[in-house]
């Protein structure tokens, strides 16, 4: 997403102009369509259900304020993406529509009020009359339609786009919960049974254990695995997967004898189907809310995943009176749970040691589905966070995926705390074999192993960082390989990576390594013997130095020899300035190596001190020099700025949407004029160019009194 699009996406719908709304509508529609394809066709979603629901909610809000944007292609007018061509197509006799969602008590009450108003308008319902709702747990699986004629199962299909699905009959016949011939009385001569194919959590975990044992990739979650299993071209693969089925609705039915939804569920069980036992007939709003809370409490202990509760008007004649709107029935709604949170048991607290020696406590959890992902570990951040949360081994804890990505523990459930639990005591020594003391940073919350690069845990993490994508990017040498090679003595320092080709014969004898994989690894290593200076700086693992700062350092020093010499000089100068006053004075002395380092844009004293401490360790320098014997480091082509350049030594920031040029083109032109272009505004910033929909950077420039100019003024200054 472009920065301009991000700005629009951050605005409230009521603050959008029509032009912005049109762009936002297109972005949301495209994004939803892409995620629909990933979810329905490839069974490989990138985001959680909660994130997907948020996209749809925002799209509906945009269309509500700008109804002229609604057209037949909008996701709000469709149920799902067009089915793929891997299976024969099946046209549903009656469309398989999806449900609208309620996420809050207010939205649920809105649904109940709409149902009552609609029935009062369409029937002789009295204002105080009872409206019974059939309430059932919403299974997180794959929607399926089963066709029966004369009581015999003849065809099964996926939902597809709601009108046309995929014929997966052969695969459905392998699922034991789906009867091939119905029993009992009153079976319609021809009818469709609608329901959900799913996989229980225990079966999913066992399947994943078999995958890992076989050296295969573990599956992400039960829903995706069930969907992928059902859409196999080989029915024998589907038969090997532990799939289940719950029936809960109907499509075409000739003749239909049941008068209520709850009566239909009873008939389904008599005919041989399994229905969800978590179903209840509620007659008041209070009963509905109580049922929702009850299911939410039981959710973590259920054998399968659910993501909400579905409410349906029980009387079918009332359903028919209420009818449908767009893609959903007016008589039903899905009341979603907050998908990013779940409850589970804390089995243990383990300590992980990072590449800089920081000790991070991690919660070892009983596996639980959080936002569509099975979570068994979650961060506890640091010792202070454990103290604040007061979580203890054995607690029932609440887990959330921060930003729907990183699992974290929010707290514990007091009423479910076991007896005789003990407060967690943070270790005073590193869990590494050296058992070195743990030191607390002055004024900070981070606790670090004092063993430095002698700590084997840190060594492994530094090596993992070294081969990662933004560093040396050595394909085929993943984290597990790094750890195994390290433990077996094949790797100790980065230079050893480039000596692995000499050990190819030895590696090929290891489990999981064949001649082809070894040849590929050797080729990948040899391809990285020539490396850009900024990648080298980033890969070494200097504290506080990331990809962007590494590029600034490379541009400043130009070649690896100059950079290393200057770092060593700066470290030596820093040792001679022990107190804060002298340190600040030294930082101002641009003529010194330490002063030069401190005055690089976006470096500063804190980062410079971290670098100096790193290079003050003799074994660190030895490791770098050993590595350089194996490499060819490319020097940086440094910009030459004319003495009379218009923006020489100026620091320029661009913010907002530019209409006459791309952001990259604007930056390139500023650099041609001698400027340094950065992404953040500070007191050192000389100029901020403000485009349309500018955000916090423009506000900060105003607060700091930094000069700003419009895009038109910039174009004029830059020469058109």
Least confident of 62-66, 170-174, 287-291, 400-404: 400-404
Pick one of 3.40.50.300, 1.10.150.20, 1.20.140.150, 1.10.10.60 as the CATH number of 533-634.
1.10.150.20
Average pLDDT, the chain: 84
According to DSSP, the residues that pair with 455 across neighbouring strands are none
Buried b (16+ CB within 10 A) or exposed e, 466-499: bbbeebbebeebeeebbbebbeeebbebbbbbbe
User: How much is the CA Rg of the chain, to the nearest whole Å?
Assistant: 31
Instruction: Report the b/e string of 265-300 with b at 16+ CB within 10 A.
Output: bebbeebbbbbbebbbebeebeebeebbeebbeebb
- Residue found by looking up tokens 């900024």 in the block: 534
Averaged over 548-562, what is the pLDDT? 87
Residue 403 has pLDDT above 50, yes or no: no
What is the spatial distance between Cα 566 and Cα 572, in angstroms, rounded to a whole number? 10
pLDDT for residue 314: 95
Where does the pLDDT of residue 9 fall: very low under 50, low under 70, confident under 90, or very high at 90 and above? confident
pTM comes to: 0.47
Calpha distance 193→155 (Å, rounded): 11
Domain 452-528 sits in CATH at 1.10.150.20
Contact status, residue 252 vs residue 192, Cβ threshold 8 Å: yes
Comparing 257-266, 363-372, 549-558, the range with the smallest average pLDDT is 363-372
Fold for domain 341-440?
OB fold (Dihydrolipoamide Acetyltransferase, E2P) (2.40.50)
Residue 547 is inside which H or E element, if any? helix 547-557
In the predicted structure, residue 72 carries a pLDDT above the cut 80:
no
How far is the C-alpha of 154 from the C-alpha of 170, rounded, in Å? Answer: 10
Mean pLDDT score, 593-614: 84
Of 285-289, 632-636, 640-644, 672-676, the least confident: 640-644
CA-to-CA dists, residue 267 to 247, 263, 470, 595, angstroms: 11, 6, 60, 83
Residue 641, pLDDT above cutoff 70:
no
Tokens of 161: 């786009």
Q: Dig out the tokens for 454 from the structure.
A: 């002698």
Angle at 582 between CA 579 and CA 588, to 5 degrees: 140
- What is the topology classification, in CATH, of domain 105-336? D-amino Acid Aminotransferase; Chain A, domain 1 (3.30.470)
Ranges for all domains in the chain classified under CATH 1.10.150.20: 452-528, 533-634
> Looking at residues 238-252, what average pLDDT do you find?
91
d(CA 676, CA 684): 11
Which two tokens mark 295? 């299911």
**CB under 8 Å, gap of 24 or more: what pairs does 83-86 form?**
83/41, 83/158, 83/160, 83/161, 83/164, 83/165, 83/166, 84/41, 84/166, 86/166, 86/231, 86/233
Give the span between the Cα atoms of 62 and 186, in whole angstroms.
48
Residue 259 phi, psi (nearest 5): -105, -20
Residue range(s) of every CATH 1.10.287.610 domain in the chain: 3-78
Beta carbons of 399 and 413 less than 8 angstroms apart: no
Q: Is it the case that residue 80 has pLDDT exceeding 50? A: no
- Per-residue confidence (pLDDT) for residue 282, from 0 to 100: 95
* DSSP-derived 3-state class of residue 598: helix
| Segments of the chain assigned to CATH 3.30.470.30 | 105-336
Helix ranges (H only) for 18-69 are: 18-36, 49-65
Q: What is the pLDDT of residues 337-389, one digit of tens each?
A: 865 678 899 999 999 888 878 888 999 999 887 766 778 888 888 888 898 89
Q: Give the DSSP H/E element, type plus range, for residue 710.
A: strand 707-710
Residue 551 has pLDDT above 60, yes or no: yes
Question: Does residue 230 or residue 560 have the better pLDDT?
Answer: 560
Q: At what angle do helices 18-36 and 49-65 cross, to 10 degrees?
A: 150
CA 149, CA 166: separation in Å to the nearest integer?
A: 19
**Pairing state between β 707-710 and 687-690:** parallel
Of the candidates 251, 306, 300, 253, the one whose C-alpha atom is nearest the C-alpha of residue 277 is 306
Who contacts 643 (Cβ-Cβ below 8 Å, separation ≥6)? none
Judge whether residue 675 has pLDDT over 90: no
Of the candidates 331, 154, 366, the residue with the CA atom closest to the CA atom of residue 249? 331
The CA distance from 597 to 587, in Å, is 8
Give the E-state strand segments of 548-699 in sequence order: 632-634, 651-655, 676-677, 687-690
What average pLDDT does range 12-29 have in this prediction?
84
% of residues, the chain, pLDDT over 90? 30
Render pLDDT for 559-583 as a digit per residue (tens, 0 to 9).
Answer: 999 999 999 999 998 887 766 545 5
Average pLDDT over residues 622-636: 92
Could you please state the CATH topology (level 3) that the domain comprising 3-78 is classified under: Helix Hairpins (1.10.287)
H helix and E strand count, the chain:
27, 26
Alpha helices in 179-302 (DSSP H): 201-213, 222-230, 235-239, 261-271, 285-298
Q: β-pairing, 279-282 with 142-149? A: unpaired
- Residue 535: its H or E element: helix 533-540
The percentage of the chain sitting over the pLDDT mark of 70, rounded to a whole number, equals: 89
Distance (Å) of CA 537 to CA 542, 553, 556, 570, 604 = 8, 8, 12, 16, 17
Contact 141, 226 (CB under 8 A): yes
pLDDT surpassing 80 at residue 518: yes
User: Taking residues 175-180, what's their average pLDDT?
Assistant: 92
Residues in the chain: 720
Q: Which residues, in sequence order, are bridge partners of residue 181?
A: 152
Phi then psi for residue 670, to 5 deg, are -65, -40
Measured torsion, CA atoms of residues 110, 113, 117, 119, in degrees rounded to the nearest 10: 110
Quick: pLDDT tens for 141-171. Answer: 899 999 999 999 999 999 887 888 889 999 9
**C-alpha dihedral sign at 458, 459, 462, 468:** negative
Positions of CATH 2.40.50.140 in the chain: 341-440
Among residues 651, 560, 578, which one has the least CA distance to residue 616? 578
CATH of the domain spanning 651-718: 3.40.50.10190
Residue 121 CB burial class (10 angstroms; 0-12, 13-18, ≥19): exposed
Q: Is the pLDDT of residue 715 over 80?
A: yes
pLDDT in tens, 478-514: 878 888 899 899 999 999 999 999 999 999 888 878 8
**Alpha carbon distance 195, 226 (integer Å):** 14
Instruction: State residue 494's pLDDT score.
Output: 92
C-alpha distances out from residue 525 to 393, 462, 470, 626, 631, Å: 44, 17, 15, 16, 11
Helix (H, G, I), strand (E, B) or coil at 283: coil
List the structure tokens of 511: 């489990």
Q: Do the strands 687-690 and 651-655 form a parallel or antiparallel pair, or are they unpaired?
A: parallel
Given 60, 78, 138, 667, the catalytic residue: 138
Helix (H, G, I), strand (E, B) or coil at 164: strand
Strands 152-158 and 164-166: what pairing? unpaired
Residue with tokens 């509905």: 288
Give per-residue pLDDT as tens, 453-467: 678 888 888 898 898
How far is CA 497 from its chain centroid?
31
As given in the structure block, the two tokens for residue 669 are 């032109």
CA dist., res. 511 & res. 180, Å (int)? 46
Q: Mean per-residue pLDDT for 523-529?
A: 93
569 catalytic per annotation: no
> What is the rounded distance in angstroms from the CA atom of residue 42 to the CA atom of residue 36?
9
């Amino acid at each position: 997403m472009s920065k301009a699009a991000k700005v629009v996406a951050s605005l409230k719908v009521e603050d959008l102009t029509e032009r912005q709304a049109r762009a936002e509508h297109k972005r949301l529609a495209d994004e939803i369509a892409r995620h629909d394809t990933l979810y329905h066709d490839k069974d490989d979603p990138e985001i959680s259900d909660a994130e997907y629901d948020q996209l749809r909610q925002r799209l509906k809000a945009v269309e509500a304020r700008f109804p002229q944007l609604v057209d037949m292609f909008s996701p709000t007018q469709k149920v799902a993406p067009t089915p793929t061509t891997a299976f024969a197509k099946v046209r549903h006799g009656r469309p398989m529509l999806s449900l609208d969602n309620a996420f809050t008590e207010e939205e649920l009450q809105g649904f109940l009020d709409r149902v009552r108003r609609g029935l009062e308008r369409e029937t002789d319902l009295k204002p105080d009359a009872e409206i019974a709702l059939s309430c059932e747990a919403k299974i997180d699986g794959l929607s399926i339609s089963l066709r029966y004629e004369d009581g015999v199962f003849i065809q099964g299909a996926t939902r597809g786009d709601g009108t046309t699905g995929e014929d997966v009959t052969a695969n459905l016949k392998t699922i034991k919960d789906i009867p091939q011939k119905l029993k009992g009385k009153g079976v319609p001569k021809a009818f469709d049974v609608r329901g959900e194919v799913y996989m229980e959590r225990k079966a999913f975990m066992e399947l994943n254990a078999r995958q890992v044992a076989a050296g295969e990739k573990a599956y992400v979650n039960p829903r995706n695995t069930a969907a992928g299993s059902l859409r196999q071209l080989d029915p024998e693969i589907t038969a090997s997967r532990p799939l289940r089925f719950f029936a809960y609705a109907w499509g075409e039915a000739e003749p239909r004898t049941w008068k209520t939804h709850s009566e239909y569920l009873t008939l389904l069980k008599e005919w041989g189907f399994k229905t969800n036992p978590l179903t209840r007939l509620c007659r008041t709003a209070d009963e509905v809310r109580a049922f929702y809370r009850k299911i939410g409490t039981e959710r973590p202990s259920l054998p399968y995943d659910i993501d909400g509760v579905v409410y349906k008007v029980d009387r079918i004649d009332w359903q028919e009176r209420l009818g449908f709107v767009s893609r959903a029935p007016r008589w039903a709604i899905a009341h979603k749970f907050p998908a990013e949170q779940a409850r589970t048991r804390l089995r243990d607290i383990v300590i992980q040691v990072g590449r800089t020696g920081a000790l991070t406590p991690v919660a070892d959890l009983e596996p639980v589905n959080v936002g569509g992902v099975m979570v068994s570990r979650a961060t506890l951040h640091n010792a202070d966070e454990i103290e604040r949360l007061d979580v203890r081994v054995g607690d029932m804890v609440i887990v959330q995926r921060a930003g729907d990505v990183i699992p974290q523990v929010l707290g514990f459930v007091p009423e479910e705390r076991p007896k005789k639990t003990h407060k967690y005591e943070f270790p005073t020594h590193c869990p590494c074999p050296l058992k070195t003391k743990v030191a607390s940073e002055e004024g900070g919350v981070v606790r670090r192993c004092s063993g430095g690069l002698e700590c084997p845990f840190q060594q492994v993490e530094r090596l993992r960082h070294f081969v990662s994508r933004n560093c040396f990017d050595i394909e085929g040498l993943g984290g597990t390989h790094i750890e195994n090679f390290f433990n077996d003595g094949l790797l100790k320092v980065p230079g050893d990576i480039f000596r692995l080709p000499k050990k190819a014969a030895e590696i090929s004898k290891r489990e999981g390594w064949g001649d082809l994989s070894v040849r590929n690894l050797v080729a990948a290593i040899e391809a990285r013997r020539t490396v850009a200076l900024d990648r080298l700086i980033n890969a070494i693992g200097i504290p506080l130095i990331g990809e962007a700062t590494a590029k600034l350092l490379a541009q400043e020093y130009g070649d690896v020899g100059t950079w290393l010499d200057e770092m060593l000089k700066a470290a030596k100068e820093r040792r001679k300035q022990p107190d804060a006053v002298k340190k600040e004075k030294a930082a101002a002395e641009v003529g010194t190596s330490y002063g030069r380092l401190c005055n690089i844009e976006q470096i500063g004293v804190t980062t410079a001190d971290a670098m100096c401490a790193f290079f003050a360790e003799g074994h660190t320098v030895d490791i770098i020099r050993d590595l350089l014997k194996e490499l060819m480091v490319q020097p940086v082509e440094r910009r030459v700025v004319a003495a009379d350049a218009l923006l020489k030594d100026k620091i320029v920031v661009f913010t907002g949407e530019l209409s006459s040029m791309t952001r990259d083109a604007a930056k390139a032109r500023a650099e041609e004029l001698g400027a340094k272009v950065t992404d953040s505004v500070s007191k050192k910033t000389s100029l901020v160019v403000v485009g349309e929909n500018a955000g916090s950077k423009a506000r900060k420039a105003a607060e700091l009194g930094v000069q700003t100019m419009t895009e038109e003024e910039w174009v004029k200054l830059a020469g058109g």
